[in-house]
């Protein structure tokens, strides 16, 4: 799908055809659309197809009067019962008169960017550097928003692990750990691209643009630091989780062992009644022949079990 935007009075307005100083937003493109853009705008075919590779890393390239910038942005991915986040590449191609963004999917960042631009009411597509830096800023904001959600999830899991006995919470945390790994790798790559932009070798930056670039770098490095901190917290939480699960299992095994000992008392006594030997209260004095032998034996068993239970409770075995 191809959408075209032009800047008008500081707003991004959808246009019907490609003209000079327009933004061409390309999402989920077909081969026919790629060939049209290649012919219409004289764009290098590699620049159009590099961002469509899911494994493409963040980088910046320049060929003649065209610049390709690839960044990675987060996107949700269903993993069984749990939702995790991965990252996908977005390409920004800057020509002498146009800006082209290209992505495998219709990512939410495009609508957010348009809303942000129209809220500011100062957008001008004659300034490609401002466009690029603001797009970077929205991408970094996506990371930070998701990292704050992950922080809340980790806090919830910290409360759950104290009574956890299954692998469900552990699998959820493994999913978060994967997400943080993807985030860290992508943010580091985006930071490298920002550093190259700061050098001025690819695009000339004004003082205002340099100041905006520094703000974007600060935001991006904040996201990197948040990712590192949450990764450390999650690793410690998972270690604690494993220890608590082992401890909970040990407590249960100790309880079951204590109960098995208590239950073994009536088992032993009742099994003796199945042997051909004289037993108390049935054939031996002083209560030989009493009709209450069964009840007396049961009372003694209950007393023994109760005493053993009290002893185990004092020893904290139960």
Is the pLDDT confidence value at 291 over 80?
no
Give CATH 3.30.460.20 domain extents, the chain: 2-247
What tokens does 177 get? 């750990």
Q: Are 85 and 146 in contact (CB under 8 A)?
A: yes
Q: Are 135 and 212 in contact (CB under 8 A)?
A: no
Q: Are 104 and 70 in contact (CB under 8 A)?
A: no
Is the pLDDT confidence value at 79 over 60?
no
What tokens does 215 get? 């703000």
CATH of domain 2-247: 3.30.460.20
Q: Of 188, 157, 184, which is closest to residue 173 (Cα–Cα)?
A: 157
The predicted structure's pLDDT at residue 161: 63
Percent of the chain clearing pLDDT 90 (strictly above): 21
Main-chain dihedrals φ then ψ at residue 84, nearest 5 degrees: -120, 170
Percent of the chain clearing pLDDT 70 (strictly above): 88
């Amino acid at each position: 799908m191809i959408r075209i935007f032009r800047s008008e009075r500081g707003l991004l307005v959808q246009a019907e055809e490609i003209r000079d100083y327009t933004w061409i937003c390309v999402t989920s493109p077909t081969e026919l659309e790629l060939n049209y853009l290649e012919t219409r705008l004289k764009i290098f075919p590699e620049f159009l197809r590099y961002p469509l590779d899911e494994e493409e890393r963040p980088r910046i390239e320049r060929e003649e009067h065209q610049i390709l910038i690839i960044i990675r942005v987060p996107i949700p991915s269903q993993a069984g019962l749990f939702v995790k986040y991965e990252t996908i590449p977005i390409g920004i191609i800057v020509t002498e008169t146009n800006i082209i963004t290209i992505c495998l999917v219709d990512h939410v960042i495009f609508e957010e960017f348009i809303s942000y631009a129209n809220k500011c009411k100062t957008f001008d597509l004659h300034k490609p550097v401002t466009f690029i830096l603001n797009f970077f800023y929205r991408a970094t904001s996506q990371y930070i928003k998701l990292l704050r959600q992950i922080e809340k999830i980790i806090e919830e899991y910290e409360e759950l692990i104290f009574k956890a006995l299954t692998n469900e919470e552990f699998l959820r945390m493994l999913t978060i750990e994967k997400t943080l790994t993807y985030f860290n790798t992508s943010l580091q790559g985006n930071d490298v691209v920002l550093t190259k932009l700061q050098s001025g070798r690819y695009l000339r930056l004004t003082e205002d643009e340099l100041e905006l670039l520094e703000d974007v770098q600060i935001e991006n490095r904040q996201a990197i630091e948040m990712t590192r901190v949450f990764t450390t917290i999650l690793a410690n939480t998972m270690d604690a989780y494993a220890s608590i699960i082992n401890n909970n299992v040990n407590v249960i095994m100790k309880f079951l062992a204590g109960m098995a000992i208590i239950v073994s008392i009536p088992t032993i006594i009742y099994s003796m009644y199945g042997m051909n030997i004289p037993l108390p209260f049935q054939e031996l004095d002083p209560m030989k022949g009493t009709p209450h032998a069964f009840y007396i034996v049961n009372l003694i068993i209950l007393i023994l079990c109760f005493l053993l239970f009290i002893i185990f409770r004092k020893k904290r075995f139960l």
